[in-house]
Each structure stands twice: as structure tokens, then as C-alpha cells.
Structure 1
Amino acid sequence: MKFLRRTTSTIFIMLGNSCNMNCKYCLQHPLVHEPLTKEINPEIFDFIKECTEENGERPVHLQFYGGEPLLYFDAIQKVVEKTKGLNCTYGIITNGRALTDPMVDFFNAHDIPVMISWDGPHVLQTRGFDSLNPRKPLRRRILRLNRLGLSSVISSKAYPREVLEAMQDVSNEYYSLHGYQIMVNLDTIFDTGLPNKELLEVDYGRVEKEMTDMAVLYLESKLSGKQNRQEYTKLSFMESLFYSLKNFYLDRNGVWNNVTCSCGNGYTTLNMDLMGNLYPCHNTSVKAGNIHDGLFKYLNAIWKGDPTKEHKEACLDCLAVAFCKGGCKLVSDKARKETYCKLKRAMFVPVLSVFQRYGEKLVGDGHGG
């Protein structure tokens, strides 16, 4: 074997850290201090090939990432061209602002899911630009994507219900064009050293109430067997939480014994720039090694930067652990105590409570097996 020996599920292709926006909650601002190279080391394609061969029948997922990845579209095309025929899948997370019609055609031709970061009705207050402005041609271009998803960051300017309802409006329009719905995802804001704390001033009571109501909506829909397409985005998001809970309690017997970060960053998820340098996370600029390193040397560098084991005792006492599984290794102890864990609990504990209330009915009706 020529390169780092590993078991890999995902490789984040870190294309560069330039961006055409300046989002207030960007977690990279405090973490990225060195520019990534734009030069491509051709050895990365041999490395990706070895990863796919070592994985056997399981594909390796290549996730294009920035900065803003669309600013590096030439590199995206090159990676797809050079990995064609390998057992891998692709995806991209983008703000969408630089999207062109040829890009849409390329993503559609290669069946690449495109996740657009968008925060709903108050997106101008969080991101400063609305990629889905109904009066702009960019919205029509985005809706032309065959595999479209929307992802939002919950903050003091973006609450779960209003965001999902705004996503529903987009999904309705998308459905009329494609005959199927968009993918949806909600993340929560967290402080990696943000200079402006305004978006961290979340009304936790409002979050708890909205999550409770949507959990009830989802479970009543399951029990009645009636699906309302106008509630698709809420139901879809709640379904993802239901299966996360099912996995934790039924498949893992409610046991959480992780000593490394649950996202797998640095372990089963590799973060690689175009030169073949490896990083603990795709949101940092401090290298942990490269594709030629021995596994022990590389993992030692990753392990030193992962404080998950230090939080284990506190996490085991928290009901939200079933969903967040120890959280992000980039968040400081101070940020965890002040905002991070509070928002995780506000998002997930109400859902757990509702699911527990309805649990026997669901399992009895065959939905939990």
C-alpha cells in the first residue's frame, strides 16, 4: 500500500477557503488562519482510488467543501473527471451565489446532490444575501438542480418552525417542477470564537415549544397513516430525528461510549486539501499530516486535538446525547456551558420527551421495528 492505511467513509475535498459571502456565524473565521493551495497534487487521485479499493463494496463519499466551493469549480470538474469509474459518490455544500447554468448542467449530468445553505425569512440578517430571492434568476437556476437540498443554521434570527415553513414554500415550487421534494437539514449555531454574539442569544423556550409541536405533528401523522404534503419539510426533519433516536435506543441499547468525536472527522472521515494534506476537520487550517504518513503518527495528531473523551461524563448525564452524541470537538468548554449545550438540549430533549410519550403506540403499530 502506497498511502496512509485507513478505513474511510467520507473524504471532504477542501478546495480552498476563499468565499464570496461573510456570514455572521461562520465558524471558519476564528479557525482558518492559513490559505489552502489551489494546486492539485495528482497523487490524491491515487489515494482516493486506494480508499475505494480498501472499502470493498461500500462507496467512498467525496464531499466538495470550501470556503465557497463553487469558486473552485474547475477543481471540482477535475476531481470528478479523474475519479470517474471508481466506487465513489459526490456531494457539495454551497451558498449557491456563484451558481451558473453550466454548473447546474454539470451537477445534474453527474447526479451530484447540491445542498444550499439558506436560513429562511431572515437570511439577510444572518448571511447578508438571499440565494432564493423569488425576484432573482438565481432562484430559478437553483430550482433546476435535480438533487436539491436546503440546510439552515438555527440561531436567534432563524427558528426551527419558521425556517422549515420557508423551506416548504421552496419545496412546493420544486415539486411542481420535478415531482418530488427537496432534502432538508437543520444545524445549530455554535461559537468557535465568534466576535459577534448576537446570533447566539437564542430564545430557548421558543425552540423547545416549536420542537415539541413538530414532534407531536410527526407522530400523529405516523399513527394516523396520513401524510400532508404541505407539512413535508417538518415531517422529513422529524423523521430524521426519529431514526436517530431509534438507532440509539433500539440498535445501540441506549449506550453511548464514544471517546472520539461522533462526526468521525479525522477518523473515518478524512479532510484533505488538493495537495494531499490532512486536517482534523474541514473547518480548520492546522494540518494533522498528509496522505503519506503512517497511521499511528497521523492518528496521534488527530487524537491530541479531540477532547470528546473529556466531556464523556457530562454527556452521559444529558438526554440530548442520543442526538448530538457528544457534539463538536471544535467547541471550547466555555462555549459548551454558555450556549452550545443549551441549544442542543432545547432542540432535542423536547423531541425525546414526545417520542417517549408516544413510543409504545409507535412500536406496537410496527413503526419502531
Structure 2
Amino acid sequence: MKYSQFNSIVYIDERYYLYNSFNQKFLVIDPILRDLLEASKSENIENLYEVHPTFYDYLVAEEFIISREIDEVEKVKQISKSVDENQSSFLLTINPTMNCNFKCWYCYETHVKTSKFSQSMIDKVGLFIEKTTTNPAMKYFQLAFFGGEPLLYFKKDVVPVIEKLQDECVKNSVDYSVSFTTNGYLIDDYFIDFFNSRKITPSFQITLDGYKEKHDEVRFVNAKKGSYDEIVKNIKRLINNSFFVRLRVNYTSENIADTYKISEEFQDIPADIKKKYLLMDFHRVWQDSQNDNINEVVDENTDKIKENGILVSHMTPDNVRNSCYADKRNSAVINYNGDLFKCTARDFTTAKRAGYINESGDLIWEDDYLERRMNTKFKNKPCLSCRLLPICNGGCSQHAMEAEESQTEYCVYYGDDRIKDDVVISKIKGIVEALVLDEV
């Protein structure tokens, strides 16, 4: 028998926890058992049986101690492959434009004012949807809109694609969903009425740049008018129509302090509606200095938001069983001009495209791009010996590809065990919180 590579022991609120990142199980252990476990694993884990057979047998039953014959890394690889190679669903992300009605200082994208879907592109996408939904293996088609601001030309460029999706999915008995990543400013009556009339329930990710004053400094209509109030009003309209909204707060060291006040804007929304249709999370602006320690401030704001009846996502990694959309074979990003990409977190320039959609609606991946991406995982040596492999897996395939191309080894946690412990602690807290919510 052997001690699982994927075990961690962490200290939370004056108690020790043993956690396994493969099976997502944890247990509280007292200091004496912790010391016994640490001593045994450094020598021979089977010695623990001689000292405390009941504890040993429990750890075996819960797979914290496993057979020496088990190749744990291979088990992770098998799960990863089964998820990423799943043929029963497809996620198509469309950038109908790279133009935007705002110009946020941190945005990595290049705005192209003249960019928009042509009728030819709408037709090509329609052909792709037809071919994909007639595949007998296809059970679920996810259509996502990104950009740019995807609502800029909603009626002309987005509506026809959604109508085509619904018609083809209904015809072929394929489940489907529609989602938007949007700044939320352009949502209007026509937008909501369209979905209600088609009996489609879209979901949204909408961002705010802090509470009102800080947000309006970043995202404004003109020198005298911000956008905060309009976006909050539109979020309320969405959730009151039973449309799910993930409200992401883009935070920096400058705007984090009073972000909890955003949750106070929704005090007039019934508690059951907020709980079901609104989720908040925090995302640090990548250009902001990461050398400070504002996690406690984030936690304080999180606690206050929860007190106001809004759920907050823990955003802990789950990169094997719930891998990034770009890791999956059946996913693609189509830019307004027909260029193909996998990842939405990189520049959409033709020079960096991975392929294109042709006149027949086929996705053409250039230079063997798709196969190279699908085979890039599990090549980073530090990952293969890491206790967090089943949940981290070295980040996403974008990280893995870039590291492979530069021939560098890496760790998304910089090899820092303290950061890894923080991830484990967040995982445990998330599991506990989910159990509590299930009981409510």
C-alpha cells in the first residue's frame, strides 16, 4: 500500500484536515493522528496499521491510502481524456464584432470599429450548426457570444444565428443553451422580449469595475455620465425574467475595499430569486500588481455579500473533470471575419488564428493545430508529481501549449506549497458550503 500522491494536510480554524484532490474527500484529524500519519508516510505507510489499525483501515476505505499497483497519474489522464474528447456536446463561441461601446483601460483586445458579421458569415455559421446538430452523437449544443461587445448589432447579426440554432436543435432533438459575455449596458426591452417570445432562457456573465464611483471612472458613456446605474438596472431586469447572471467584479487594489456595496443594490429582489439567478465572483485585473496581500479584503467583501443573500463563487480550480472549454475537442471560437480560435483570453488577430470556417461551414484547423492542442497536456514534469494534479492539471491547454512551444517547465502556483495549501483550503470550504446550502 502507499500514501496517495494527491493527499494534503492543511490547518483550518485550529483543526487539521486531510484532503485528497482526486476523490475530493476530506476528514478532520486530531493532532495525534496527524503526527502518526506524517511519521508513517515518511517511512512506510503500512506501519500505521500496527499503531492504529482502525485509522489505517478507514484511510484505505476512503482511498487516502491505496494499492502500490495503482498508477494515479494514469487515472487522471484517463478522466481528462474522457472529458476533453466527449463527442456528445459542442460549444461554439462567436465574436459577432470586435467593436465595443466602452474602452476599459485593462482590456487586452484590439477594438475594430468596422468589424461585424456579414450575411456570408451568418450563412456559414448556419451551415455549421446544421451539420453539427444532425450528427447522431450530438446531444447538447452550447452557443456563446463574446467580443467586443456582442450586443452592439444584436438584432441584425446575433438574432439570425440564435433562431437558426433553435430551429435546428428542435428539429434534431438536440438540447441547447445560449449565453453572453457582455458589459450589460445595451440590454433593452427588445432583447428580453426576443428570448421570452422564443422561450429561450439565456445566461450571462456581466462585469462591474468595483462599486459605483470606481466603476464609473473606468467605464463611462461620456464625461458626465457613467454606466454603473444602467448596468445594475439591466442585471435586475434579467434576473427578474429568470435569466441567470454571473456578476463578475473586476477588482484592483484601488477598487476592492467597498465592492460589497454592489450586493446592496439587489436588496429589493426577493431572496429566492437572488439565490437562484444571481452569482457573484471576483476576478483580479491582470495588470494590477499581484505582490500585495489583499486576499483578506476580498474575503471580507465576500462575507458581507453572502450576508446580503447573494452567493459568491469560490473559483477554485477543477481543470480535469470540468476543464476549460478550450481544452475540449468539440469547441471553437469563430471571429466576425471567419478566423478560428480556441481561447478567448488571447488576441483575435489573423496572424494568431488557428484556422478558419470555409464556405461549406466546415471548421478548418491549420498546421495540425487541433491535434497539437489536444495532445499538449501532461507533458509538464512538475505537474506529474504534484499533489494538485487532479484539480489543477497545470492550468489549461493554452498554458501547456505556450510552455511546450517555449520549452519551459512551469507551475501556475510558482511551486509554492503555501499557495497550494490555500487552494486546498478553498476547496474544503467550498465543499462544506455546498453541503450547508443543500440542507437549506
What TM-score does the superposition give when structure 1 sets the normalisation length? Answer: 0.66
RMSD between aligned residues? 4.8
Structure 2 regions of 5+ residues with no counterpart? 1-86
Give how far 1:155 is off: 3.3
% identical aligned pairs = 19
Give the greater-gyration-radius structure (CA): 2
Q: Post-superposition shift, 1:90?
A: 0.4
Relative to structure 1, the CA distance from residue 115 to residue 47 in structure 2 (aligned partners, 3 Å threshold; closer, same or farther) is same
Query: For residue 38 of structure 1, what is the aligned residue in structure 2?
Result: 117
Question: Is 1:18 the counterpart of 2:113 in the alignment?
Answer: no
* 1:124 is the counterpart of 2:216: yes
Match of 2:250 among 153, 166, 178: 153
- Shifted more, 297-306 versus 112-121: the winner is 297-306
Q: Secondary structure at the match of 1:153?
A: strand
Counterparts of 1:18 and 1:358, CA distance in 2? 38
Q: Can you list the C-alpha shifts for 1:244-277, whole angstroms capped at 9, x where unaligned?
A: 56x96xx79xxxxxxxx84425733211135544
Which of 105, 123, 142 does residue 193 from structure 2 map onto?
Answer: 105
Specify whether residues 349 and 27 from structure 1 end up closer, same or farther in structure 2 by C-alpha distance, changes over 3 A only.
farther
Equivalent residue in structure 2 for 1:174, among 247, 269, 280: 269
One-letter code aligned to 1:285: T
Q: Which residue of 2 aligns with 1:184?
A: 280
- When residues 323 and 37 of structure 1 are mapped into structure 2, their CA distance, relative to the original with a 3 A threshold, is same
Match among 322, 328, 333 for residue 271 of structure 1: 333
1:201 paired with 2:298, answer no
Matched with 1:195 is none
Distance apart, 1:290 and its partner CA: 2.5
User: How has the CA–CA distance of structure 1 residues 302 and 296 changed in structure 2, closer, same or farther, with 3 Å as cutoff?
Assistant: same
- Please give the alpha-carbon distance, in whole angstroms, between the structure 2 residues aligned to 1:329 and 1:49: 28
Decide whether aligned partners of structure 1 residues 153 and 364 sit closer, same or farther in structure 2, where only a CA change above 3 A counts.
closer
1:238-257 aligned at under 5 Å gives the runs 238=314, 241=316
Aligned to 1:193: none
Corresponding residue number in structure 2 for 1:288: 354
Whole-angstrom CA distance in 2 between matches of 1:154 and 1:348: 22
SS at structure 2 position matched to 1:18 = coil
- Taking the TM superposition and a 5 Å limit, the aligned residue runs for 1:57-72 are 58-72=139-153
Structure 1 portions without partners, runs of 5+: 1-5, 191-198, 219-227, 253-260
The structure 2 residue matched to 1:313, chosen from 381, 391, 410, is 381
Using the alignment, how far apart are the partners of 1:36 and 1:358 within structure 2? 42
Report the Cα offset of residue 231 of structure 1: 4.7
Matched, 1:115 2:205: yes
Determine the C-alpha separation between the residues in 2 that align with 1:24 and 1:100.
26
Q: For the residues of structure 2 that align with 1:328 and 1:89, how far apart are their CA atoms?
A: 23
Helix, strand or coil at the partner of 1:15: coil
Structure in which a larger fraction of residues adopt strand: 2
1:156, CA displacement in angstroms? 3.1
Structure 2 CA distance for aligned equivalents of residues 75 and 297 of structure 1: 24
CA distance in 1, matches of 2:430, 2:203: 34
Question: Any idea what SS the aligned residue of 2:94 has?
Answer: strand
SS of aligned partner of 2:161: helix
- Whole-angstrom CA distance in 2 between matches of 1:127 and 1:24: 9
Relative to structure 1, is the Cα distance of residues 119 and 355 closer, same or farther in structure 2, using a 3 angstrom cutoff? same
Whether the aligned pair in 2 keeps the contact of 1:107 and 1:113 (CA below 8 Å) is no
Secondary structure of residue in 1 paired with 2:267: helix
Q: Does residue 233 of structure 1 match 2:334?
A: no
What SS does the aligned partner of 1:144 have? helix
For 2:418 and 2:218, locate their aligned partners in 1 and report how far apart those are by CA, in whole Å: 21
Q: Give the total of aligned pairs.
A: 319
What is the aligned counterpart of 1:140 among 209, 233, 258? 233
Q: CA deviation at 1:139?
A: 3.5
Higher relative contact order (CA 8 A, sep 6+): 1
Report the counterpart of residue 161 of structure 2 in structure 1: 79
TM-score (norm. length: structure 2): 0.57
User: Retained in 2: the 8 A contact 1:119–1:152?
Assistant: yes
Distance 1:206 1:18 in 2: 33
| Letter of the 2:127 counterpart | D
Q: Secondary structure at the match of 1:9?
A: strand
More helix by share: 1
Deviation at 1:230, TM superposition (A): 2.4
Distance 1:263 1:351, change over 3 A: same
